[in-house]
Amino acid sequence: MNAPPSPRRVVLVSGLSGAGKSSILHALEDLGFEAIDNPPLAMVAELVARGERHLAIGIDARTSGFRAETVLETLARLARNPDLRPELVFAEADENALLRRYTETRRRHPLAPEGRRVSDGIAAEVALLAPLRAKADLLIDTTELPPRSLRRLIEARFAAAASGRGLMVSLVSFAYPAGLPREADLVFDARFLRNPHDDPALRALTGLDPAVGAHIEADPDYATYLRQVSAMLTLVLPRFVQEGKKYATVAIGCTGGRHRSVHLIERIAAYLRSQGWSVTCTHRELAREGAATARAEQPLSGAGAGSTPPDFHQAQEA
């Protein structure tokens, strides 16, 4: 017997101007989604009804007829159709990052009329979009997220939908002082394990280096911890599939995000792949270390003044 077709994905992409919405749309388009940026809200239902492919629609404060409440009502109506799976993705960045991007692009913020400060436009947009941020299925902070990492994040969550595959598992290592990954479904703490940072010979290395891995694995509780985390994922991931989830993010953190968490993510990834799961790995702090070089090589740039906000991710990938 043939399995019933999977619901068609309808992804509404919103967020703060300059936070990377266009880059998210481009990444989804590359995955096979039909991508449409800023159609009038009144046309969204018609676009969905006419389409046959997975659909990604960009919606923000520039959209004709924009009201956050109307966007949420549209999502609710789409969710009542069993043949559709609507989702809301929201991109944001902190004010300093957005101000820097607008300063470097010399573009006007769409909500800052002539003579008003960019910071005024940012504040207005934050308030205007707050209801969407609160209801987002996926919240992405691009403050320090390099363009390639943003693309990998989108691929990890939506490649399964585009290809018809099952659950995609995204594994993320991180440093607790830099904050928890907001997209994480499960978070594990590795700070109790032996810290390679305390050994001068290992400090400059990372959890990808065998010497660091050997140091961590020498901790008497390491094997038990790895076994327990693996057992928890073996229990939980199949239940995610039963619930209809198409992606799950599992994060492991340590103090610096360079040694213990990185090593454990690689070990967990190997285990899950051996069990047949589709897995991607992101080492957040290691990616951030390379971000300064990437930005120095290619300065931020944006698009048309007053209409299309600057998208630093798209500029860097160009």
Most confident of 5-9, 140-144, 286-290: 140-144
Q: Across the chain, where does the E strand assignment appear?
A: 8-15, 34-37, 55-58, 84-92, 138-141, 168-175, 186-189, 247-254, 278-283
Cα 124 to the center of its chain, rounded Å: 24
pLDDT computed for residue 120 by the predictor = 82
What's the pLDDT band for 162 if we cut at 50, 70, 90?
low
pLDDT at residue 113, as a whole number: 65
The predicted-structure confidence for 201-215, as pLDDT tens digits, reads as follows 999 999 999 999 999
Tokens describing residue 186? 């499960």
Q: Which of 85-94, 151-160, 167-176 has the lowest mean pLDDT?
A: 151-160
Q: In the chain, what are the domain boundaries?
A: 8-165+291-317, 168-276
pLDDT of residue 221: 97
What is the model's pLDDT at position 161? 57
At residue 104 the predicted structure's pLDDT band, cuts being 50, 70 and 90, is low
| pLDDT for res 19 | 87
% of the chain surpassing 70 pLDDT: 83
Judged against a pLDDT cut of 70, whether residue 114 lies above it is answered with no
Q: What separation in angstroms does the CA of 286 have from each of 124, 144, 163?
A: 34, 12, 29
Task: Check residue 65 and give its pLDDT.
Answer: 75
Per residue in 21-57, pLDDT tens?
989 999 998 888 899 998 888 888 889 988 888 899 9
Q: For residue 184, how many C-alpha atoms fall within 13 Å in the half-sphere facing its CB?
A: 19
**For a pLDDT cut of 90, what percent of the chain falls above it?**
42
Q: Which of 232, 268, 247 is nearest to 166 (CA)?
A: 247
pLDDT at 208 (0 to 100): 95
Give residue 313's pLDDT. 47
In the prediction, which pLDDT does 30 show?
85
- List pLDDT tens digits, range 260-317: 999 999 999 999 988 888 888 989 999 887 633 222 222 222 333 333 444 544 444 3
Q: What is the mean pLDDT of residues 230-237?
A: 94
* β-bridge pairing 168-175 and 138-141: unpaired
* Dist CA 248 CA 233 (whole Å): 11
Which residues, in sequence order, are CB contacts of 115 under 8 Å at separation 6+?
Answer: none
Q: Rounded CA gap, 212 and 207, in Å?
A: 6
Q: In terms of pLDDT, which residue wins out, 151 or 226?
A: 226
Q: Mean pLDDT, the chain, as a whole number?
A: 82
The per-residue pLDDT for 261 is 97
**How sure is the predictor about 3, in pLDDT bands with cuts at 50, 70 and 90?**
very low
Q: Is the pLDDT of residue 165 over 60?
A: no
| CATH architecture label of 8-165+291-317 | 3-Layer(aba) Sandwich (3.40)
